[in-house]
Amino acid sequence: MPAGVVIVGGGLAGLSAAVRLTSEGFNVTIFEKRPYWGGRVSSFPDPVTGWEIDNGPHLITGAYECTRQFLQTIGSASKIDFQPHLQTVYFDPEKGKASLRSVSLPGNLSLMAGLLKFRFLRLKDKLGILKALQRLGRLNESPELDFFTADAWLIRQKQTTAARRYFWDVLCLAALNAPPGLVSFLQFFRVLKKSFGAEKEKARLGFANAGFQDVFAGPAEAFLRKRGAGLYKKETVLNLEIQNNRAFALQLKGRKLSDFDALVLAVPPHALEKMIPKNFIQQLTVNRIRFHPIVSVHLYLKTELFPEKFLAFIGGTCQWIFNMNAIRSSKYWEGIWYSVVISGAEEEAKLPKDTIVSQIFSDFQKIQPGWKPSDVLHIRVIKELSATAPGSPGAEAGRPSQKTAFKNIFLAGGWTRTGLPDTIESAVLSGELAAKEVMAQS
């Protein structure tokens, strides 16, 4: 067994690797350059309201098996509330509200029955979706699926404009943070196959009933400290020293660390490129991977905009609006807290915050005619510029595995090769896979 394992990066991938390795009796030290754990899935207290807000609302699905096991291990599984059945409430300014809800039937029949009752779609639209899902169920994963877009597949399946607008496009943006025209069909296929397979429970949505600090980072930190792990925040690794195909030292600000046998690098590609000597970076096969932004806007209102836990907003700047009071079952500050999420926000991320807020106000007025901006008590806009790497066509081959060409260096991160798109589940799984590689060498 190695004398020690050093993990660089305290996001979900790094925490997942650390939890698995300490559970197996390894001595683990983890360094994080930020003053908090959790990476892209983190939260912080809002200076005005004092309440803990997430850097961007995330949904957990029933298909997130590794994530659910991770939360079970660190003792916070009860902080995710799952729907009894998949249910999504839509709002279209021209049609009002409609609910897509699966029913109590075996396997895919539950979703099929729900689709047939969904009033935003005609019978032709619904039958087209069901036929496409049936064809997808007979399809096996292959490398060829990575070389055309999800959009190309939907066109081939002759999906109608309405089917795209109310089902496929919404699903793709929510799961992959990009529209179907920008993502590889392979990644979309993986989402659909995992969520809409034989087990209907996997399609359910789960909501965190506390901030991410209390769901992920806090319990993971407590778990690791209890098992003697060394945890260091605000510690920047400047570079690695490599000799004889091994990492033998880490240069931090003001000190050097060389007492380790295995090194897990759980950081994004751009951080790796700064850390690894240029003459060695190619050996990690880290190709240029493009990340897409997410913009989230937290608004505290005097009055209720809608009572449901969340709405899928069609045809506006808003895409998802979460009623945080309903999700966390409590009253926040003086008002009612709503979180707006804009996925695939390439254009919105470039806009001034005031412009984004103005567009959201316009959407709110469509939900509730007569609503006025004077109803807003407080606003917080967050731009996560490198939120996820959704996977453009051909990008899968550039995702490195957790095992590298170096004897004691391993990679972790949702962007690495996990067999999943870059999601919370992929990040947690990558940590597990990296830990298994470390254990295999011991």
Residue 89 lies inside a defined structural domain of this protein: no
Looking from the CA of 186 toward its CB, the CA atoms found within 13 Å total 23
Residue 70 lies inside a defined structural domain of this protein: no
pLDDT the model gives residue 47: 86
Q: Which of 145, 166, 200 is where one domain is finished?
A: 200
pLDDT the model gives residue 107: 58
Strands ordered across the beta sheet of 246-252: 237-243, 246-252, 255-257
Residue 414 lies inside a defined structural domain of this protein: yes
Residues 284 and 405 in one domain: yes
Rounded to whole angstroms, the Cα distance separating 17 from 439 reads 11
The mean per-residue pLDDT over the stretch 8-31 comes to 97
Residues 257 and 379 in one domain: no
264/254: higher pLDDT: 264
Q: What is the pLDDT of residues 95-132, one digit of tens each?
A: 999 999 887 655 566 778 888 899 999 999 999 999 99
Looking from the CA of 428 toward its CB, the CA atoms found within 13 Å total 20
Contacts for 410 with CB less than 8 Å, ≥ 6 apart = 262, 263, 264, 265, 402, 403, 404, 434, 437, 438
Bridge partners (DSSP) of residue 301 are 336, 376
pTM of the model: 0.94
Q: Which of 176, 200, 224 is where one domain is finished?
A: 200
Q: Which of 166, 200, 234 is where one domain is finished?
A: 200
Contacts for 54 with CB less than 8 Å, ≥ 6 apart = 41, 42, 43, 208, 211, 212, 296, 339
Residue 61 lies inside a defined structural domain of this protein: no
Residues 162 and 120 in one domain: yes
Residues 179 and 309 in one domain: no
Domain span at residue 132 reads 104-200
**Inter-axis angle of helices 424-441 and 12-23, nearest 10:** 40
Q: Are 305 and 338 in contact (CB under 8 A)?
A: yes
pLDDT the model gives residue 110: 74
Contacts by residues 330-333 (CB-CB < 8 Å, ≥ 24 positions apart): 332/49, 332/51, 332/300, 333/48, 333/49, 333/50, 333/51, 333/300, 333/377, 333/378
Which two three-digit tokens encode residue 175?
């799961």
Residues 284 and 296 in one domain: no
Residues 282 and 401 in one domain: yes
Least confident of 192-196, 204-208, 277-281, 349-353: 277-281
Number of domains in the chain: 3
Residues 108 and 159 in one domain: yes
Distance of CA 157 to the CA centre of its chain: 28
Give me the numbers of helices (H) and strands (E) for the chain, helices first please.
Answer: 15, 20
Residue 99 lies inside a defined structural domain of this protein: no
DSSP 25: T
DSSP 162: H
SS3 of 241, please? Answer: strand
Residue 57 lies inside a defined structural domain of this protein: no
Residue 362's H or E segment, with its range, is helix 353-367
pLDDT the model gives residue 442: 79
Rounded to whole angstroms, the Cα distance separating 158 from 127 reads 11
Residue 327 lies inside a defined structural domain of this protein: yes
Please report, for the domain that includes residue 317, its CATH number.
3.90.660.10
Residues 191 and 252 in one domain: no
- Split at pLDDT 50, 70, 90, the class of 283 is low
Rounded to whole angstroms, the Cα distance separating 278 from 281 reads 5
Rounded to whole angstroms, the Cα distance separating 69 from 140 reads 27
- Split at pLDDT 50, 70, 90, the class of 328 is confident
pLDDT the model gives residue 1: 44
DSSP 108: T
Please report, for the domain that includes residue 282, its CATH number.
3.50.50.60
Top mean pLDDT of 60-64, 325-329, 407-411 is at: 407-411
Rounded to whole angstroms, the Cα distance separating 312 from 23 reads 40
Residues 215 and 159 in one domain: no
Residues 131 and 177 in one domain: yes
Bridge partners (DSSP) of residue 233 are 32
- Split at pLDDT 50, 70, 90, the class of 85 is confident
For residue 292, is pLDDT > 60? yes
Residues 129 and 247 in one domain: no
Please report, for the domain that includes residue 196, its CATH number.
1.10.405.10
Residues 108 and 241 in one domain: no
Residue 437 lies inside a defined structural domain of this protein: yes
The mean per-residue pLDDT over the stretch 142-158 comes to 97
Q: What is the pLDDT of residues 371-427, one digit of tens each?
A: 999 999 999 999 998 888 888 999 998 899 999 989 999 999 999 999 999 999 999
